[in-house]
Amino acid sequence: MAILVLFAAALCAACALTGADSSYPFVDVGSPYTTSKITPATVGQPSGVQQLADIAVNPGDVIDLLSATPEGSLAGATVQLWLSPTVRGGSTFYCGQYHEQIAGAQLSAVYASPSPENDFCIVGQITASTAGVYTLNNIRVQYRLNGGDVRTGETGGTVWTVCVDTPSPACPTPPGG
Protein backbone atom coordinates (compact mmCIF):
# COMPACT_ATOMS: atom_id res chain seq x y z
CA MET A 1 0.00 0.00 0.00
CA ALA A 2 2.80 2.43 0.89
CA ILE A 3 4.51 1.73 -2.43
CA LEU A 4 1.28 2.51 -4.29
CA VAL A 5 0.90 5.81 -2.41
CA LEU A 6 4.54 6.73 -3.18
CA PHE A 7 4.02 5.87 -6.87
CA ALA A 8 0.89 8.05 -7.02
CA ALA A 9 2.73 10.93 -5.33
CA ALA A 10 5.66 10.58 -7.75
CA LEU A 11 3.27 10.53 -10.70
CA CYS A 12 1.51 13.69 -9.48
CA ALA A 13 4.87 15.41 -9.00
CA ALA A 14 5.94 14.42 -12.52
CA CYS A 15 2.71 15.84 -13.93
CA ALA A 16 3.25 19.10 -12.06
CA LEU A 17 6.86 19.40 -13.24
CA THR A 18 6.06 18.71 -16.89
CA GLY A 19 2.88 20.73 -16.96
CA ALA A 20 0.94 17.62 -17.93
CA ASP A 21 -2.80 17.97 -17.68
CA SER A 22 -5.27 15.13 -17.68
CA SER A 23 -7.46 17.04 -20.15
CA TYR A 24 -4.63 17.80 -22.60
CA PRO A 25 -4.97 18.26 -25.56
CA PHE A 26 -8.61 19.30 -25.07
CA VAL A 27 -8.86 22.79 -23.64
CA ASP A 28 -11.52 24.85 -21.96
CA VAL A 29 -11.00 28.15 -23.73
CA GLY A 30 -13.79 29.95 -21.91
CA SER A 31 -16.83 31.79 -23.18
CA PRO A 32 -18.45 31.38 -25.65
CA TYR A 33 -17.17 27.81 -26.06
CA THR A 34 -18.20 26.56 -22.61
CA THR A 35 -21.77 27.77 -22.74
CA SER A 36 -25.04 26.29 -23.84
CA LYS A 37 -25.81 26.86 -27.50
CA ILE A 38 -29.27 26.54 -29.04
CA THR A 39 -29.81 26.13 -32.78
CA PRO A 40 -33.14 25.89 -34.63
CA ALA A 41 -33.42 23.42 -37.51
CA THR A 42 -35.92 21.70 -39.80
CA VAL A 43 -36.51 17.94 -40.17
CA GLY A 44 -34.26 16.48 -42.86
CA GLN A 45 -32.17 19.65 -43.20
CA PRO A 46 -28.69 19.97 -41.67
CA SER A 47 -28.34 22.42 -38.81
CA GLY A 48 -25.74 25.13 -39.11
CA VAL A 49 -22.15 24.12 -38.38
CA GLN A 50 -21.23 24.76 -34.75
CA GLN A 51 -17.80 24.94 -33.09
CA LEU A 52 -17.91 22.37 -30.29
CA ALA A 53 -14.42 21.80 -28.90
CA ASP A 54 -10.87 23.08 -29.04
CA ILE A 55 -7.63 21.12 -29.29
CA ALA A 56 -4.41 22.86 -28.28
CA VAL A 57 -1.19 21.36 -29.62
CA ASN A 58 1.96 22.04 -27.63
CA PRO A 59 5.10 22.73 -29.68
CA GLY A 60 6.97 19.47 -30.24
CA ASP A 61 3.91 17.24 -29.77
CA VAL A 62 2.25 15.15 -32.46
CA ILE A 63 -1.38 14.12 -31.94
CA ASP A 64 -2.79 11.35 -34.13
CA LEU A 65 -6.60 11.47 -34.08
CA LEU A 66 -8.23 8.06 -34.40
CA SER A 67 -11.95 8.73 -33.90
CA ALA A 68 -14.53 11.14 -32.49
CA THR A 69 -17.91 10.05 -31.16
CA PRO A 70 -20.70 12.48 -30.22
CA GLU A 71 -22.56 11.79 -26.98
CA GLY A 72 -25.91 13.03 -25.73
CA SER A 73 -29.62 12.72 -26.53
CA LEU A 74 -29.21 12.13 -30.25
CA ALA A 75 -31.52 9.20 -31.16
CA GLY A 76 -33.19 10.01 -34.49
CA ALA A 77 -30.41 12.34 -35.61
CA THR A 78 -27.19 12.00 -37.55
CA VAL A 79 -24.20 13.96 -36.28
CA GLN A 80 -21.31 14.84 -38.59
CA LEU A 81 -18.07 15.96 -36.92
CA TRP A 82 -15.06 17.56 -38.62
CA LEU A 83 -11.66 18.88 -37.66
CA SER A 84 -10.80 22.48 -38.48
CA PRO A 85 -7.50 24.37 -38.15
CA THR A 86 -7.31 27.79 -36.57
CA VAL A 87 -6.50 30.48 -39.13
CA ARG A 88 -5.60 34.13 -38.77
CA GLY A 89 -7.74 36.81 -40.35
CA GLY A 90 -5.94 40.09 -39.70
CA SER A 91 -5.60 40.32 -35.93
CA THR A 92 -8.39 37.79 -35.27
CA PHE A 93 -8.21 33.99 -35.13
CA TYR A 94 -10.99 31.83 -36.61
CA CYS A 95 -11.73 28.15 -36.35
CA GLY A 96 -14.42 26.26 -38.23
CA GLN A 97 -14.04 27.61 -41.75
CA TYR A 98 -12.31 24.53 -43.17
CA HIS A 99 -13.56 20.97 -42.60
CA GLU A 100 -11.33 17.89 -42.60
CA GLN A 101 -11.88 14.28 -41.56
CA ILE A 102 -11.02 13.64 -37.92
CA ALA A 103 -9.99 9.98 -38.16
CA GLY A 104 -6.44 9.77 -39.47
CA ALA A 105 -5.60 13.44 -38.94
CA GLN A 106 -2.16 14.18 -37.54
CA LEU A 107 -1.83 17.43 -35.60
CA SER A 108 1.38 19.26 -34.82
CA ALA A 109 2.23 22.81 -33.85
CA VAL A 110 2.86 25.29 -36.65
CA TYR A 111 5.04 27.49 -34.44
CA ALA A 112 7.79 26.53 -31.98
CA SER A 113 6.22 28.63 -29.23
CA PRO A 114 2.62 28.57 -28.00
CA SER A 115 0.29 30.29 -30.49
CA PRO A 116 -3.43 30.20 -31.30
CA GLU A 117 -2.37 29.07 -34.77
CA ASN A 118 -1.20 25.79 -33.21
CA ASP A 119 -4.81 25.02 -32.24
CA PHE A 120 -7.59 23.11 -33.94
CA CYS A 121 -11.30 22.77 -33.28
CA ILE A 122 -13.98 20.16 -33.73
CA VAL A 123 -17.10 21.40 -35.47
CA GLY A 124 -20.37 19.57 -35.97
CA GLN A 125 -23.67 19.53 -37.77
CA ILE A 126 -26.87 17.67 -36.84
CA THR A 127 -29.50 16.37 -39.28
CA ALA A 128 -32.64 14.98 -37.64
CA SER A 129 -35.15 12.57 -39.17
CA THR A 130 -37.92 13.53 -36.73
CA ALA A 131 -39.00 16.66 -34.89
CA GLY A 132 -37.64 17.03 -31.37
CA VAL A 133 -34.92 18.43 -29.19
CA TYR A 134 -31.45 16.91 -29.62
CA THR A 135 -28.59 17.59 -27.23
CA LEU A 136 -24.90 16.96 -27.80
CA ASN A 137 -23.07 17.32 -24.48
CA ASN A 138 -19.72 15.65 -25.09
CA ILE A 139 -17.40 14.31 -27.76
CA ARG A 140 -15.29 11.26 -26.93
CA VAL A 141 -12.04 11.34 -28.91
CA GLN A 142 -9.52 8.53 -29.29
CA TYR A 143 -5.98 9.65 -30.09
CA ARG A 144 -2.29 8.96 -29.68
CA LEU A 145 0.09 11.52 -28.23
CA ASN A 146 3.64 11.36 -29.63
CA GLY A 147 3.15 7.79 -30.90
CA GLY A 148 2.17 6.46 -27.47
CA ASP A 149 -0.70 4.27 -26.42
CA VAL A 150 -4.26 4.99 -27.49
CA ARG A 151 -5.89 7.51 -25.16
CA THR A 152 -9.50 8.55 -24.80
CA GLY A 153 -10.32 12.18 -24.09
CA GLU A 154 -13.59 13.97 -23.57
CA THR A 155 -14.14 17.48 -24.80
CA GLY A 156 -17.02 18.53 -22.54
CA GLY A 157 -17.58 22.24 -21.99
CA THR A 158 -20.17 22.88 -24.69
CA VAL A 159 -23.79 21.72 -24.53
CA TRP A 160 -25.36 22.08 -27.96
CA THR A 161 -29.14 21.81 -28.26
CA VAL A 162 -30.73 21.58 -31.69
CA CYS A 163 -34.48 22.18 -31.75
CA VAL A 164 -35.92 20.52 -34.86
CA ASP A 165 -39.37 21.85 -35.79
CA THR A 166 -40.04 22.21 -32.05
CA PRO A 167 -40.69 25.77 -30.93
CA SER A 168 -40.89 26.23 -27.16
CA PRO A 169 -39.74 28.79 -24.58
CA ALA A 170 -36.34 27.04 -24.49
CA CYS A 171 -35.99 26.81 -28.27
CA PRO A 172 -36.13 29.54 -30.91
CA THR A 173 -38.60 29.23 -33.77
CA PRO A 174 -37.15 27.10 -36.61
CA PRO A 175 -36.40 28.77 -39.97
CA GLY A 176 -39.61 29.25 -41.93
CA GLY A 177 -41.64 28.32 -38.81
How many domains are contained in the chain? Answer: 1
Look at residue 158 and tell me if it is in a domain: yes
Average pLDDT score over residue span 34-45? 82
| Mean confidence (pLDDT) of the chain | 78
Look at residue 117 and tell me if it is in a domain: yes
Look at residue 99 and tell me if it is in a domain: yes
Look at residue 173 and tell me if it is in a domain: no
Q: What is the pLDDT of residues 101-131, one digit of tens each?
A: 999 999 999 888 888 888 999 999 999 999 9
pLDDT reported for residue 102: 96
Residue 71's domain comprises 24-164
Please return the burial class of 9, using the count of CB atoms within 10 Å of its CB with bins 0-12, 13-18 and 19+.
exposed
Do 38 and 85 touch, CB atoms closer than 8 A? Answer: no
Do 123 and 97 touch, CB atoms closer than 8 A? Answer: no
Look at residue 152 and tell me if it is in a domain: yes
Look at residue 170 and tell me if it is in a domain: no
